[in-house]
């Protein structure tokens, strides 16, 4: 005989947990990445060259630096959401799943910060000449 209600017994044992939020973030970041990446490819194609001088000069304009920063944020937000879904599907043991999900988040934050700081340095003129 247990005092636990039927609802209490099943609560938290489903697979969904925070799934809906994750799903929406994946979709919105996908749309943002799609739009920003199209801008990125077209912009690169329109540059006269892709050498250091041209690219760093281009990123001093706020009209290039702002979408580039957004592209970095959207891309890294999207890719860690996606990689975590793959890990959740194929890593079955709780401990290793938590470990790999954390590693993916750390790696995405590290690489994303590196990329974002680089864009800001070029935009604000702190990059090497």
Partner 1 sequence: MHRNPDRPMSPHLTIWKWGPHMLVSILHRVTGAGLATLGAGLFTWWLVAAAMGPEAYESFSRWLNWLTGVGFEADKTAWGWVKYGFGAAIGVGLTWAFFQHALSGIRHFVMDIGAGYELKTNKMWAVLTMVGAVLLTAGLWFWVIMGRIA
**Binding of partner 1 by 91 (CB under 8 A):** no
Taking the complex as a whole, the smallest distance from the CB of residue 1 to partner 1 amounts, in Å, to 23
Burial 102-124, CB ≥16 within 10 A → b, else e: eebeeebeeebeebbebbbebbe
**Binding of partner 1 by 30 (CB under 8 A):** yes
> Helix (H) and strand (E) counts for the chain?
5, 0
Taking the complex as a whole, the smallest distance from the CB of residue 67 to partner 1 amounts, in Å, to 13
Taking the complex as a whole, the smallest distance from the CB of residue 126 to partner 1 amounts, in Å, to 8
Rounded to an integer, what distance in angstroms lies between the CA atom of residue 49 and that of residue 43? 11
In this chain, which of 36, 64, 72, 74 binds partner 1, going by CB under 8 A? 72
């Amino acid at each position: 005989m247990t005092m636990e209600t039927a609802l209490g017994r099943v609560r938290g044992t489903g697979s969904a947990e925070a799934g809906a939020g994750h799903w929406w973030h994946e979709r919105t970041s996908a749309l943002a990445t799609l739009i920003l990446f199209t801008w990125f490819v077209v912009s690169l194609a329109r540059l006269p060259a892709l050498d250091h001088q041209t690219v760093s000069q281009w990123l001093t304009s706020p009209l290039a630096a702002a979408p580039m920063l957004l592209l970095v944020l959207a891309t890294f937000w999207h890719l860690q959401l996606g990689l975590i879904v793959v890990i959740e599907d194929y890593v079955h043991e709780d401990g290793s799943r938590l470990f790999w999900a954390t590693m993916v988040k750390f790696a995405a934050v590290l690489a994303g910060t590196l990329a974002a700081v680089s864009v800001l340095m070029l935009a604000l003129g702190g990059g090497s000449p």
